[in-house]
Amino acid sequence: MAPKKNSAKRPQPSTPKPSAPARIVKVQSSDGHILQADVRALLLSSTLAATIKGYDDENKPLEKLEVNNVVGFTLKLVLEWCEKHKEDDPAIAQAEKDKKNIFIPSWDRHFLTKLPMGNLFDLITAAYHLDITGLINYGCKTVANSAKGKSTEEMRELFGIPEPWEQPSTSTATWDD
Amino acid sequence: MDFASIDVKGAEYKKAAILFCYRTTHCIDSAFSLLSKEYPDVTRKDVEAWFTELRLGEIPVPVNTGNQQEKALFSLSPKLLQEITKYLSAQDLKSISQVCKLLKQFVARIDVRIDLIHIFLKPDSIEIKTVKPGSTSLCQITQTPNGCSVNKDGFTTSQRRTFLEQLADEFERCLGNDNRKVKKLDIEVDKESDHQTEFFDKLITTFRRLDSRLDCETLHTDFCPSRTLKFLIEQLSSEHFKDLRIRSATQVIHVGPYDMSEIILLPHWKKLTAFFSFCDLTNISLLDFAHIDCVSATTSSRPTEDIASYILACAMSSSSYQLIGLPIENVEDVASRLLPFGVEKK
């Protein structure tokens, strides 16, 4: 087998394309909040991109997209992130997906680190449901960064798990599968 | 409570049911599914309109007094948790696995943490010891006239390939998962072995097959040729790297000057805590040793200025043992420079 090379180079953003007029659609969260977003921002989500494509293929007018598994507060954060990254080349996030050491740009660092841990978890989960690779990458790395170098006690405090060796009663998760 | 007085056909009861769904943070779909059981004529659009009305009326949704962070952590999917652990070191994984039973189970299941890999090259065999949380395995590869024999945890098999080729195979299997976190990698070489160069080449080739640099915290290794040592160290990610120890296994294979120019440029050099060498080191300044805790080395002659700066740096550092042998051309000059650091004899 030929030796693989370590891929240390960071992918470079592609040259920005001339911006087309914004196409705004309504997005409704699971708790009924209605927000507005540029379709280019929504295309960062593979899940929403497939839905939008479905409408476009059938020439149906797209008035409102329903996101049934994300609440309004979190959806607002997701859309804010997508709006900021709508010009990004999706290949960059895809290339970073398998890397152990990714670089978080300063805007994203500020955006993610200002969130309380619970909201950050909700945001990552929403990104996972909506399949937004870049947000998953940055979100997970931010959680990891906040846990790095911490002792068990500090991690327990960070994740809000008070008693040692006590299985949380709020969860039925086993992660066995 | 006087339940008999509740009129389940009445508007008050319906309003309470809608309010209950809203305040217990049901989404529109789940509220619709619940309410439609009691009120078959209710549509999803109705629920959406009621929820909007409640929001506009600023009816509060109660704050959950349970531990939100904990709830959210355990609600993360295994895939996301695995994604998070990808960025953590072996030590971080150890700490996180001690947080609670669920995280312990999770870290054990993803099987990415290795506490120790010890590889020992002997004259006619190689030993690989792997220690993981809760298990230790030992693999002994011995040279035979037809190839090699492999003894793994008590079971022996014969192979037609050379014992060094088998080493590459076993080491690759040991690293396996590209996301491995190794706490300590210890490479030991018997000075009687004639296969040292080929041994290190096989290790480096195996590292290069990984998609990314190995996440390793500690490397203790015996000396090998200068460029090989550089290649070996640079295959390890410097992100979680904490401790490097380089020791000399033999004086025989490194006769002549040993070029340090490329090794000292690696970020790992700053993490060097012990350095024992019998070689004549070149292209290294005395100051490059000052941060190391234990040093025993020899270098070529240095200008007096360098020696004085080095002594000063050592005096200010917390190094516990530094022994550097070097020829001094102008002893008197050095002595006068060092006078302030010595103890006055009466």
Q: Per the domain annotation, does B13 fall within a domain?
A: yes
Residues of B in contact with A134 (CB under 8 A): none
Tell me which residue range forms the domain holding A31. 24-158
Give the model's pLDDT for residue A171: 44
Say yes or no to pLDDT of B179 above 80: no
Mean pLDDT value of segment A138-156: 91
Say yes or no to pLDDT of B61 above 80: no
Q: Which structure tokens are listed for A155?
A: 């991690």
Mean pLDDT value of segment A31-43: 91
For residue B38, the number of C-alpha atoms closer than 13 Å in the C-beta half-sphere is 15
- Domain containing residue A123: CATH number: 3.30.710.10
H-type alpha helices, B126-277: 163-175, 196-209, 226-234
Chain A nearest-CA residue for B22: A31
Q: Do A100 and B89 touch (CB under 8 A)?
A: no
Structural domains counted in chain B: 2
Say yes or no to pLDDT of B55 above 80: no
Mean pLDDT value of segment B31-54: 86
Q: Per the domain annotation, does B271 fall within a domain?
A: no
Residues of A in contact with B83 (CB under 8 A): 136-137, 140
Residues contacting B163, CB < 8 A, separation 6+: B124, B125, B126, B141, B142, B143, B147, B148
Q: Is the dihedral of CA B304, B310, B315, B320 positive or negative?
A: negative
**Per-residue pLDDT tens for A89-142?**
777 777 776 666 788 999 999 999 988 888 899 999 999 999 999 999 999 999
Tell me which residue range forms the domain holding B47. 9-56
Using CB atoms within 10 Å of the CB of residue B215, give its burial: 0 to 12 exposed, 13 to 18 middle, 19+ buried.
Answer: buried
Mean pLDDT of chain B: 84
Same domain, B44 and B20: yes
**Per-residue pLDDT tens for A19-28?**
556 789 999 9
Q: Per the domain annotation, does A176 fall within a domain?
A: no
Q: Per the domain annotation, does A169 fall within a domain?
A: no
Give the model's pLDDT for residue A19: 57
Q: Do B212 and A116 touch (CB under 8 A)?
A: no
Longest dimension (CA), chain A: 57
Residues of A in contact with B77 (CB under 8 A): 125, 128
Q: How high is the ipTM of this complex?
A: 0.80
**Per-residue pLDDT tens for B233-287?**
999 988 889 999 988 755 444 556 788 888 899 999 999 999 888 778 888 888 8
Q: Per the domain annotation, does B73 fall within a domain?
A: yes
**Per-residue pLDDT tens for B70-84?**
556 777 888 898 889
3 state SS of B90? helix
Same domain, B52 and B71: no
Give the model's pLDDT for residue A156: 84
Give the model's pLDDT for residue A12: 47
Q: Per the domain annotation, does A93 fall within a domain?
A: yes
Q: Per the domain annotation, does B118 fall within a domain?
A: no
Q: Per the domain annotation, does A78 fall within a domain?
A: yes
Say yes or no to pLDDT of A75 above 50: yes
More confident residue, B66 or B240: B240
Structural domains counted in chain A: 1
Q: Per the domain annotation, does A15 fall within a domain?
A: no
Give the model's pLDDT for residue A166: 47
Please name the member of B29, B96, B239 whose beta carbon is closest to the beta carbon of A101.
B239
CB B298 within 8 A of CB B324: yes
The band of A167, judged by pLDDT with boundaries at 50, 70 and 90, is: very low
**In angstroms, what separates the C-alpha of B203 from chain A's closest C-alpha?**
12
Distances (CA, A) of B92 to A77, B110, B245: 29, 14, 22
Q: How far is CA B224 from the centre of its chain?
A: 23
Q: Per the domain annotation, does A120 fall within a domain?
A: yes
Residues of B in contact with A1 (CB under 8 A): 209
Q: Per the domain annotation, does A8 fall within a domain?
A: no
